[in-house]
Amino acid sequence: MKCDHCDKEATVEEVLLVGDSYVYKHMCESCASEVGLLKSGAGGRSEPTPSDSACPRCGMTFQAFRESKRLGCPACYDAFTDRLGPVLSRAHDGATHHTGKVPKRLLDAALQDRADAGPSETREAIARVLGQARERADKIERVAEQLAAAVRSERFEQAALLRDELERLRSAVQSHTHADPSPDEAG
């Protein structure tokens, strides 16, 4: 990959959290030093490197994960939570949170906790676990961005597909919100 600033090979990657999404910058060593990302000459980073701590459960290090692309055990997800964000975002079109199926036993537990609360709070608790409304909104935003990009680059067949997709998503949200005042129940 080329440096964002010049034609040299990029060796430094900077990941910035902008709003809800990650932005990647790629630079060669000299450009990275110029913007203060690397200490010039020393070749080290301006901030201390977080020690490559291992997963307390299985001993997997983040470096080893980067090489093998496989985590060692379920606890790795907690051990590397922060550093996994950009990895997940890149692999899943910007998404970093699960919004799909939840094991029944967790849903049952959510219901149990709310058993003494009112029906709307129960609904809210379940909707939160399911995350459906946020998911639709995120998806609409992402498809709208893809559509704009397709139109910009004159890929009209793609644009037509994406427009259909967008209309479908929006009408799904509308029909759900129309049928029920609580959008959290959509989907």
Partner 1 sequence: MSAASHSNGDTPGLPLDGRHAPWIGEGRDTDVVLSSRVRLARNIAGFRFAGLADVDDRRSVLEIVRDRVRPALVPSQGDDPGRAAWLDLHASPRSVRDLLVERHLISPQHARGRKVPPSAGGQDPRALLLELPSERRSIMVNEEDHLRIQVIEPGLALGEAAEAIDALDDAIESCVDYAYHPRFGYLTACTTNVGTGIRCSVMLHLPGLRLLGEIDKVRRAAADMSLAIRGFWGEDSDNPGEFYQLSNQTTLGSSEALLLESLLSTIVPRIIEYERLARRRLLETRRSITEDTVFRALGTLRHARRLAAAEAMQRLSELRLGVALGLVDGLSLTDSTRLTLLVQPEHLRRAVGPITDEEIRSARAAFLREQLAGCAEGGA
Written as six digits, the tokens of 114 are: 């709310």
Query: CB-wise, 16 or 149, nearer to partner 1?
Result: 149
Q: Which contiguous run of DSSP H or E holds residue 170?
A: helix 156-179
Candidate residues 161, 170, 182, 183; the one interacting with partner 1 per rule CB under 8 A: 161
Candidate residues 36, 100, 118, 181; the one interacting with partner 1 per rule CB under 8 A: 100
Query: CB-wise, 106 or 117, nearer to partner 1?
Result: 106
Which x/- pattern, by CB under 8 A, does the window 128-147 give for partner 1? -xx-x--xx-xx------x-
Comparing CA positions, the residue from 179, 92, 176 lying closest to residue 139 is 92
Q: Which contiguous run of DSSP H or E holds residue 127?
A: helix 119-130
For the CA atoms of the chain, what is the radius of gyration? 22
Which x/- pattern, by CB under 8 A, does the window 108-127 give for partner 1? --------------------
| Cα 38 from Cα 2, distance rounded (Å) | 17
User: Which residues, other chains included, contact 157 with Cβ-Cβ below 8 Å and sequence gap of 6+?
Assistant: none
The reply to whether 101 sits near partner 1 by the rule CB under 8 A is yes
Applying CB under 8 A, which part among 14-22, 30-38, 44-52, 77-85 lies near partner 1? Answer: 77-85
The reply to whether 152 sits near partner 1 by the rule CB under 8 A is no
- The number of CA neighbours under 13 Å toward the Cβ of 24 is 14
Candidate residues 44, 97, 111, 156; the one interacting with partner 1 per rule CB under 8 A: 97
| Cα 21 from Cα 32, distance rounded (Å) | 22
The reply to whether 58 sits near partner 1 by the rule CB under 8 A is yes
Comparing CA positions, the residue from 33, 32, 17 lying closest to residue 83 is 17
The reply to whether 68 sits near partner 1 by the rule CB under 8 A is yes
| Three-class SS state of 45 | strand
The reply to whether 32 sits near partner 1 by the rule CB under 8 A is no
Site of interaction with partner 1 (CB under 8 A): 57-58, 60, 68-74, 77-78, 81, 84, 87-88, 91-106, 129-130, 132, 135-136, 138-139, 146, 150, 155, 157-158, 161-162, 164-165, 168, 187
